[in-house]
Each structure stands twice: as structure tokens, then as C-alpha cells.
Chain A
Amino acid sequence: MSESPQKSGVGRLFRRGPWEIAATLFIAAGVLMLLQPFALVLYTYSFITTLIGVVMFVIVSKFPE
């Protein structure tokens, strides 16, 4: 039984790997923005960046491998 192209496309879209990497990058960027000494504006937006990464990580960890 072969999967329909649409279904396999959706399945490929919701694979855990790339989304987890994206979430990890968001978290890492948020932490760097929080701790950097260069721009107050980056510090201001650090929390929301980390939060997006964390929420994303929790959601995408439920995606299939």
C-alpha cells in the first residue's frame, strides 16, 4: 500500500528532526540574547524568543521521528 503524495508530503512536513533543530536554535538564540552585553533591545526580546523555542520544542517532541 503506497501513501498518497499529499499524505506523504504532510508526513514529511511534520517530521521531528528539522523542527527540533529549529526549536533548539530559537532557545540558543534566546539564551545568547539574554546574556549578551551589546544591545538592550536584544535583551528585551530574549525572553519571548526563548519562550517560543521552549513551546515549540514541547510541541515538536510529539511529532513522529
Chain B
Amino acid sequence: MSKLNEIADRAAGATPPSLAGAVRGLSDKSIAWIFIAPTIILLLAINIFPLIWTIYLSLTNYRANRPNAELKFVGTEHYEKILTNPDIWAAMQSTAHFVVWTIVLQTVIGFTLAWLVDRKFRGHGFWTTVILLPMMLSPAVVGNFWKFLYQPQIGLFNYIISFFTGAEPSSFEMLGSVQLAPWAIVIVDTWMWTPYVMLICLAGLRSIPDYIYEAAEVDRASNWRQFWSITIPMCLPFIMLAVLFRGIENFKMFDMVNLLTGGGPGSTTEVASITLKREAFEKWRTGFSSAFAIILFVTVFGLANIYVKALNKVKSR
């Protein structure tokens, strides 16, 4: 304690008298504001200002490739166009297909893996590490190597499918077929992010106290009954958390889909973020794409609110 006082005295002694006088006159609240001001300024500069600027641009006809053109206020015209455009609606449906199927598969497989890993079999630590490997990779790396795996001539994926089905490996193209490409991106995302869902479910399973199962044993409840009446209800907040988090992430998925298919063939795998990129940086409709970005932002912000609420519920357990 005396060491601390000594340090504080030395710091006070080193403070110029003019500065010390100025600080002495400030209230605790003012000093607190001085400390948090840099963070607030940084937040305003990199988060709030771009958001307000995007809202402003969404109400104009601005094009980033024609910065000197006359700027016209168009009101909610872009929003009306986006929300009545069947092509963008189709992009939303591609996003929905991707989001729904990845969530369903990741939740089912993730929970099953968590339940198996929780059995604590011999070498379960090693297998947990092996299962967690895909989520540690960069989406860019994953996109590139799955592109090789999906190659119809040399890709391992086609050979494995042909081994089980007897079909010729080169007779189908996962990334080039209109029917298969949406499933190709679902498979890659499921492969990569199921371990994450498994981790959350594992945390849920390990949070269930043993005495509840022991009480159920005393009541002669079957394993099936214990699973449906104890395991699932007590894990549900954790499963909801995983579903919401993956939902938000996949709703704005860009990098992996862009690397794998680039939105093709045609626009079969053109998810919302790829449509946004095309509008903003290929067609240079900055105002229009800003409006689209705001629509996506409001949706993600809404889901994030629910996510935080679910997180607090889990924390309070």
C-alpha cells in the first residue's frame, strides 16, 4: 500500500502545477467524461458517422463513380424500388434457403456431436480438438480448398459421392449446377460452423447439474424421457443462442459464397450481400445500395437485439 502511495506521490509531483490546478477544479463526472471522450469520439467517427452518412446517401441519387454529378434528393424511392423488386426478393429467398438449411443442419449435427462428446469416452479431448479444427480456418482458405474438393475431374467430394452412389464423378458439378450449387454452399458452411454450434451446446449440456438426472433415475424415468424432459429444455436457451448467432452471421455471409460461386450459376446463389456488392461496386448505384444496406442493417440489428436478450437470459441461469 505504501508503495502505491509512493507511486501516486511521485506522479503528483511530476504533474505540472498548471495542469494539476486545472484538474483539481474538475468534478469527478468531468474527469470521467475526459477519460471516455476518446472512445466516444472514435465510435462516432467509425460507427455512427458512416451510418448516418449511409442513411443520407440512401435518400439521394449519388453514384460513387460520378462524384461531381448533381446530387438529387429522391426520398424513399430507393426503398420502394428495393421492396417491390422481384429480383431482390429472389436474392432474399436464396439467402433464406442458405440461412434456414445451414441453421437446421448445424443445430442437429452440432447438438448430436455435443451430446456424444459429453459422454466422456476414451480420447474425447483429442476428438473434440479434431472436430473444432474447421472453425479455426479462414473463410477464404475454406472457400478455396472446397473449390478444389468440388472439382468434377479431380475433386475428392465427387469421388466420395460416386463411391456411394455409383454415379460417374465427372457426371455432376456441385458449383456449376443450378440445382446443386445452393446445396454446395450449405454443405461448406455446415462443415465449417457445426463445431461452433457444438461448443455452445456442450456448454449447455455441462451446465445441467447431475442431481437432476439422479432424481430422474430415482423416479425411474427412461433415458428417452430424461432426454426430452431434462436435456432438451435445459439446453434450449443455449441452442437458441447458437441459432440466433448463426442466423445473423449467415444472413450477412459474403466471403465464402463469393469465393465458391460468386453468386452463380446465373443468380442461383446470389445471397443478399452479393447483390449488395454488385449494386454498389459493379453497377455503381451508391444511393440504391445504401438503401439496401440500411434494410439489411435494420434486420441484423433487430436480430442482434433478440440475441442479446437471449444471451442475458442464459447468463442469468
Residues of A within 8 A of B (CB): 20, 23-24, 27-28, 30-31, 34-37, 40, 43-47, 50-51, 53-54, 57-58, 61
Q: Which residue of B lies closest to A27 (CB)?
A: B302
- Of B83, B86, B305, the residue contacting A47 (CB under 8 A) is B83
Q: Name B's interface SS.
A: helix
Inter-chain CA distance A47–B84, complex, in Å, is 11
Task: Give the interface size bracket for B toward A.
Answer: 20 to 34
Interface residues of B in 76-92 (CB under 8 A from A): 79, 83-84, 86, 89, 92
- The contact of A35 among B83, B96, B302, by CB within 8 Å, is B96
A36 to B90, alpha carbons, bound, how many Å? 10
Bound state CA distance, A43 and B301, in angstroms? 18
| B96 near A24: Cβ-Cβ < 8 Å | no
Is the beta-carbon distance between A27 and B305 smaller than 8 angstroms? yes
Interface mask (B73-109 → A, CB under 8 Å = 1, otherwise 0): 0000001000110100100110110011000000000
Query: Using a CB-CB cutoff of 8 Å, which residues 280-317 of chain B contact chain A?
Result: 295, 298-299, 301-303, 305-306, 309
- Asked if residues B299 and A43 are in contact (CB atoms below 8 Å), the reply is no
User: What CA separation (Å) do A7 and B83 show in the bound complex?
Assistant: 43
Whether A54 lies near B305 (C-beta < 8 A) is yes
Q: Are B302 and A36 in contact (CB under 8 A)?
A: no
Are A35 and B84 CB-contacts (below 8 A) given A24-B306, A24-B309?
no
Contact across chains for A50 and B299 when beta carbons are under 8 A apart = yes
Residues of A near B83 (CB, < 8 A) are 43-47
Q: Is the CB of B93 within 8 A of A47?
A: no
Distance of A37 Cα from B100 Cα, bound (Å): 13
**Closest Cβ–Cβ distance, residue A18 to chain B (whole Å):** 14
**Identity of the chain B residue whose Cβ is nearest the Cβ of A48 in the assembled complex:** B83
The one of B86, B95, B298, B306 in contact with A40, judged by C-beta atoms closer than 8 angstroms, is B86
